[in-house]
């Protein structure tokens, strides 16, 4: 009984694959390199549990280059795909994959990138959006074993 109670309390992270873009709130064209930020569009359903200071793994969609960042802002409310396209002047390739309402998350990157890449590269990211009990995974594990 004690083992079951402890296993129920042990939480594992739930990650969501999301899309985004390199972005600069106040670009400075005089800089050759800068530490841009990323805007990520996290599906709003189910409502994600996001917080500032949270680490994020990012990848440039076109090249596969990987880097990390930290959430610095979780915008209040939800934006529709149309609002996001208009407000952030998103590229065509990003607008094709942004198909549902989203929470906008601003991420400070841990790396320096050439300033001319800002606003031009689409990103994918793995963002922790919540947790769940280890025991809640048991039915999924058992169903996978039954298929063998």
pLDDT digits (tens, 9 = 90+) for 29-49: 444 445 678 899 999 987 778
Q: What is the mean pLDDT of residues 42-68?
A: 87
**pLDDT at residue 69 in the model:** 92
Total Cβ atoms within 10 A of residue 139:
9
CA nearest to 23, candidates 81, 79, 94: 94
**pLDDT at residue 63 in the model:** 80
**Helices of type H across 11-123:** 81-88, 92-97
Write down the pTM of the prediction: 0.74
CA nearest to 118, candidates 22, 20, 21, 19: 22
Contact 14, 132 (CB under 8 A): yes
Q: Worst-scoring range by mean pLDDT, 15-19, 31-35, 124-128?
A: 31-35
**pLDDT at residue 31 in the model:** 42
Q: Worst-scoring range by mean pLDDT, 34-43, 69-78, 82-91, 102-111?
A: 34-43
The number of CA neighbours under 13 Å toward the Cβ of 21 is: 20
Pseudo-torsion of CA 62, 119, 24, 100, nearest 10°?
-80
């Amino acid at each position: 009984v004690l083992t079951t109670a402890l296993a129920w309390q042990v939480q594992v992270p739930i990650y969501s694959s999301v899309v985004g873009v390199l972005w600069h709130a106040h670009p400075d064209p005089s800089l050759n390199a800068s530490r841009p930020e990323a805007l990520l569009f996290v599906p709003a359903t189910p409502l994600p549990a996001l917080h500032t200071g949270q680490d994020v793994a990012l990848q440039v969609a076109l090249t596969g280059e990987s880097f990390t960042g930290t959430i610095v802002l979780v915008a209040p409310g939800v934006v529709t795909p149309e609002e996001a396209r208009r407000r952030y002047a998103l590229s065509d390739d990003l607008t094709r994959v942004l198909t549902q309402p989203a929470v906008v998350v601003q991420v400070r990157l841990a790396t320096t990138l050439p300033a001319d890449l800002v606003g031009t590269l689409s990103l994918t990211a793995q963002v922790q959006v919540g947790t769940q009990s280890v025991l809640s995974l048991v039915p999924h594990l058992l169903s996978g074993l039954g298929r063998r």
